[in-house]
Amino acid sequence: MADLDHYEIYYADKLWNLIPAIYRTLDTDVYNANGPLRELVNRIGAQAATVRRSIDRLWEDQSIESCDDWVISYIGNLLATNLVASLDARGQRLDVYNTIYYRRRKGTVAILEEIAADITGWEARVVEFFRRLSRTRHNLDLPIAVRSDTPADNLTLELAQGLTGNWTHSMIGGWADLRNAYGASQAQGPNSIAVSPRPPSAFDEYFHTADFRAGTGRSGWYNIPKLGVFLWRLISFAVNQTTPVENGSCYTFDPTGRQIPLFAASSRPPYDAWVSPQEWQLPTPISTPLLTAALANPETIPLYASIDPDGLSVLQNSLGIFTLPGSFYELVDVSQITTFPIPPNTAPQIMVFPETGAFSVLEPQDGPITVTYQYGFSAPMGAGPYDRRVLGQTPNPAPAPVSNVLGGGNGIAALGSIPPTGTVSINDSLTYTAVLNVSDIQQLTVTAENQARPVIRLRPPGHGGPNEWIFNGAEDGSLVLEGLLVCGCDVVLSGKFESVTLTCCTFDPGTAANVEAGSKEAIHAQSLFARSIDGRDLAPTRLWIEAEITQLNIDRCILGPIRTRAGGEVETMTVTNSIIQAIPTVKPSAPPQTFGPDLPDLALSFITGTTSLSRCTVMGQAYVHELQASECILDDVFVVDNTQNGCVRFSAWSSGSVIPRQYESVQIPAGSPLFTSRDFGQPGYAQLLENVDNAILSGAQGATISQGATDGSEMGAFASQQNPIKERSLLIKYQEYMPLGLNPVLIHVT
């Protein structure tokens, strides 16, 4: 660390000048070199500088905003703040800072929502379930203010006191009014969006009979002492100016052609301006009734993008559709957007289906179409429009020269060639349909601009496109791939590499057809894969290793199968915070006689080297030579050649596996239902089910998957999100700020 305050040299010189000149002269005969006396004085000066800095920090350490991290707990103790373990130093600093603010508002719904957001980082809405009980008013209720002869004034009064639903105008204890489609859609009922079952609603305006069961999950809500804490755990990611996939007049917002639900952007004012959120302000899937209400009232419910009052810039929102008639994107006006069915007396140009993330162009548009939209996922993982800079992480090298790519299409191929040493930076989120193979790589980085998500979607081999993107390494070569979403081809590493690093990349793991693998329907189906909207098979992008690689590092990635062939080998592969999935790619025949590295649908296949997995989810069978696994979920048969070395710790492993010694691990059935969804692109992809622990066959007493990591978090790729720890911390914090006599019920909406 640099001595920026120069205290060390200041105090060393000050002490040195106090020593008589005769001793300074005799200290050394060498010019410009320190003798033993000067070295001793320098060390004393360094200690004096440390003392001076400590004295200078004493005043700063009296304030929570400026104190050192180690002081936070002491200041918190002075305020009797109940610090929780899930918060980092910054979070604990904010917790202490907000203590007085919290206590002044103790027991209010607003502060409970703020505490939930501050402690967990999730959006929350708190509902007093006794207000949803179907009952008549009694003398303990607050009196209704003087009613007027104007129905509008009476309605305002009833809305303010919670006697009437905001959308449906259903009276407390009265019949449910079903006339408002959006309000009716908030009631518990059949699923109408791409999440199954339908998420619990925090905006139900109907009233219910009392439920005396314990409040857990989706039961035991409606009772006097129950306080519902609805939590939105998924993150809504904003994609800027991307290329939709077209099939005639139909498009998908998703650039891989998948039909996935659109999400609303999270937008709520903090602290003193805090209000209980409405659905459009939360990171939740957008339903057709909600979008219909938003398009009819764009100023009240701003879900669609708009033009800034300056008339030049675009205010991004949950979704936007643009045309490119010239050199600049032009936003299709909100008045030209509709949902199904088309409202009467309107002539819209585009119809949006938010549950499937698709839209239909009813009138021809001027120029190509681009879109902005939001999608939901559990964590900043894989290629995505988030800040990839991680505190304390050394950034990947960006060697010169740097080639910038923009515009999509053939933008990468337009470079002509990629030099073996340099950086290719893709600076937008458009789709690129052509690539360049690279030979004799010495030090190459192919990266996306921070907070951009470029998509490399090549044509299938049968339609004139390549089926491989090849990187050939020279002796001691280094390759870095960062922030790329690749689909439609395999990625091949050949030659020799000292190191290959994949950070925040997505190699499309594909999507299986909606039939059970091995069933008669799958055997006779034309394809084992689901189809994109333009008819392409959603086949996996495999990482083929034909090279000799000393170190393969993978971090925060979502990948299809990783396999060796043609003599390729990896000395050490380290995978952290990632998802690796293999789906069936061949029609099943007779069961294999032996389990080996040549089976066609392995997620991992390595006959040599060491595989180290930390906080990973592996969906599919695997065969490796040597394994070190920690806090992982191995959901299918995993065979390790060398079981004398290595360890599987704090992990879930499948029946039939051959693995090294286990420590604090659990056994599960191979291919058991553990996840909300196994389909890449869906919001609940690889997210653990709430009843995931029911799949455990054996393990230590009290063994758990949902809280089985070393720190009490969940096993698998989302362990770093610390979801169980956040929930426990929230309940601890609520013990101080809950209203007397009420019990919190944590409800996962997403």
Residue 554 lies in a domain: yes
Q: How far is CA 44 from CA 19, 23, 27, 357, in A?
A: 13, 17, 16, 68
Of 291-300, 409-418, 522-531, where does mean pLDDT reach its minimum?
A: 522-531
Which of 29-33, 392-396, 548-552, 725-729 reaches the highest mean pLDDT?
Answer: 548-552
- pLDDT > 90: what percent of the chain? 35
Q: Which residue has the higher pLDDT, 688 or 367?
A: 688
Q: Which residue has the higher pLDDT, 38 or 449?
A: 449
Residue 129 lies in a domain: no
Cβ proximity of 624 and 572 under 8 Å: no
Average pLDDT (477-482) is 93
Query: What's the CA dihedral at 275, 278, 281, 285 to 10 degrees?
Result: 150
* 593 has pLDDT over 70: no
The pLDDT of residue 518 is 47
pLDDT digits (tens, 9 = 90+) for 553-566: 999 999 999 999 98
Average pLDDT (427-437) is 92
Could you tell me which residues are beta bridge partners of residue 553?
Answer: 501, 574
Boundary residue ending a domain (329, 360, 377): 377
pLDDT digits (tens, 9 = 90+) for 116-153: 888 888 888 888 888 777 777 676 666 665 566 666 66
Boundary residue ending a domain (377, 411, 444): 377
Of 502-506, 523-527, 633-637, where does mean pLDDT reach its minimum?
A: 523-527
Residue 160 lies in a domain: no
Residues 313 and 423 in one domain: no
Structural domain that includes position 324: 235-377
The pLDDT of residue 523 is 45
Residues 301 and 425 in one domain: no
Could you tell me which residues are beta bridge partners of residue 231?
Answer: 124, 748
* 572 has pLDDT over 50: yes
pLDDT band at 188 (very low <50, low <70, confident <90, very high): low
Distance CA 170, CA 172 (A): 7
Residues 370 and 415 in one domain: no
Residues 411 and 524 in one domain: yes
Average pLDDT (77-85) is 84
* 744 has pLDDT over 90: no
Q: How far is CA 664 from CA 127, 172, 179, 377, 639, in A?
A: 39, 52, 55, 29, 19
Boundary residue ending a domain (322, 343, 377): 377
Residues 300 and 424 in one domain: no
pLDDT band at 573 (very low <50, low <70, confident <90, very high): very high
The pLDDT of residue 192 is 34
Average pLDDT (384-399) is 76
* 552 has pLDDT over 90: yes
What is the tally of structural domains in the chain? 3
pLDDT digits (tens, 9 = 90+) for 303-345: 898 887 776 777 888 899 998 877 778 888 888 888 888 876 6
Residues 351 and 459 in one domain: no
* 195 has pLDDT over 80: no
pLDDT band at 466 (very low <50, low <70, confident <90, very high): low
Amino acid identity, position 55: I
pLDDT band at 198 (very low <50, low <70, confident <90, very high): low
Residues 349 and 490 in one domain: no
Retrieve residue 157's tokens. 């009064």
Residue 649 lies in a domain: yes
Residues 565 and 475 in one domain: yes
* 454 has pLDDT over 70: yes
pLDDT band at 520 (very low <50, low <70, confident <90, very high): very low
Q: Which residue has the higher pLDDT, 641 or 161?
A: 641
Distance CA 177, CA 183 (A): 9
